[in-house]
Amino acid sequence: MTTTTATTAETGVTAMVELRSVRKSFGSLEVLKGVDLTVAAGEVTVILGPSGSGKSTLLRTINHLEKADAGWVSVGGTLIGYRRSGDKLYELPEREVLKQRTRIGFVFQDFHLFPHLTVLENVVEAPVWALKRPRAAATASAKALLARVGLADKAGAYPRQLSGGQQQRVAIARALALEPGLLLFDEPTSALDPELVGEVLDVIKDLARQGTTMIVVTHEIGFAREVADTVVFMDDGRVVEQGAPDDVLNAPRHARTKAFLSKVL
């Protein structure tokens, strides 16, 4: 058996993100039960589903924080853990996995800012360390990013001095500082007071308009309807239904999608 890195040319995968038959268990608990997902470059995919359905695990698998037990994951045409029907096994070396992870932005529900660093330092550190950018250039870019998320005047503040909505906007600026080809959001507004949700969604909508490829796990149905190219409904470790927002949200075909939507709408 040979182990190698598969290229787009070899596999024909051209989507930004492609998952095929991905399975993942924690001990005896199977959390992903054969997930297929395709996200084209420049598209926004919104993932809906009840708590415990595997949404976070799916994002973590795409970001290579979890390794699929079976199936394969491709980001930007580079495959991880791909086995052809023949006996050729493709596996990305760990160094390449880490490199690819720096090209994927991840925004968490609870912000994950560094509390002892200022807002500006939070945005500057990642490109300096992960991309070896000169500090002066990283600082200039960080200031531009903070302006883009409406926080130019908070550069010198510490995270604890900001509202949740402001902290999440810093987290988005920090993710953008790595110039990611793909942005993943895991319930980015779930920890926020209702009146702060809008300012964060506005920043995400702005990114969508600029053609950033994104996968957003959220319960914000209005956002999904307005911004998503594709809505994916997950339940019990499977993609139950996916399609255009109009179809999935207005005319769901599966009983479980209907039941979920009737609760959150």
Q: Minimum distance from CB of 32 to Mg ion (Å)?
A: 13
Is residue 63 part of the contact set for Mg ion (CB under 5 A)?
no
For tokens 């359905």, the residue is 53
**Closer CB to ligand ADP, 56 or 78, in the complex:** 56
Question: How far apart, in whole angstroms, are the C-alpha atoms of residue 256 and residue 45?
Answer: 19
x/- map, 57-86, ligand ADP, by CB under 6 A: x-----------------------------
Binding site partner of 49, from Mg ion, ligand ADP, none, Cβ cut-off 5-8 A by kind: ligand ADP
Binding site partner of 26, from Mg ion, ligand ADP, none, Cβ cut-off 5-8 A by kind: ligand ADP
Single out the segment in contact with Mg ion by CB under 5 A; choices: 51-59, 123-131, 205-213, 246-254: 51-59
Q: Minimum distance from CB of 243 to ligand ADP (Å)?
A: 20
Binding site partner of 31, from ligand ADP, Mg ion, none, Cβ cut-off 5-8 A by kind: ligand ADP
**Closer CB to ligand ADP, 55 or 64, in the complex:** 55
Question: How far apart, in whole angstroms, are the C-alpha atoms of residue 7 and residue 195?
Answer: 46
Binding site partner of 52, from Mg ion, ligand ADP, none, Cβ cut-off 5-8 A by kind: ligand ADP
**At residue 250, what are phi and psi to the nearest 5 degrees?**
-95, -30
State the residue number with the nearest CB to Mg ion.
56
Beta strand residue intervals within the chain, DSSP E = 3-4, 17-26, 29-39, 44-48, 70-75, 78-80, 82-83, 89-90, 104-107, 182-186, 214-217, 230-235, 238-243
145-150 long-range Cβ contacts below 8 angstroms, 24+ apart? 145/173, 145/176, 145/177, 146/119, 146/120, 146/170, 146/173, 148/173, 148/176, 148/206, 149/173, 149/203, 150/199, 150/203
Is residue 188 part of the contact set for ligand ADP (CB under 6 A)?
no
Q: Which of 119, 111, 16 is nearest to 62 (CA)?
A: 16
Is residue 189 part of the contact set for Mg ion (CB under 5 A)?
no
Q: Mind giving me the DSSP string for 90-101?
A: E---HHHHHHHH
**Closer CB to Mg ion, 45 or 56, in the complex:** 56
**Closer CB to Mg ion, 55 or 256, in the complex:** 55
Is residue 56 part of the contact set for Mg ion (CB under 5 A)?
yes
Contact between 92 and 103 (Cβ < 8 Å):
no
What number of chain residues touch ligand ADP (CB under 6 A)?
Answer: 11
Question: How far apart, in whole angstroms, are the C-alpha atoms of residue 62 and residue 109?
Answer: 17
The residues in 3-62 that bind ligand ADP, with binding defined as CB under 6 A, are: 26, 29, 31, 49, 51-57
Binding site for Mg ion (CB under 5 A): 55-56
Binding site for ligand ADP (CB under 6 A): 26, 29, 31, 49, 51-57
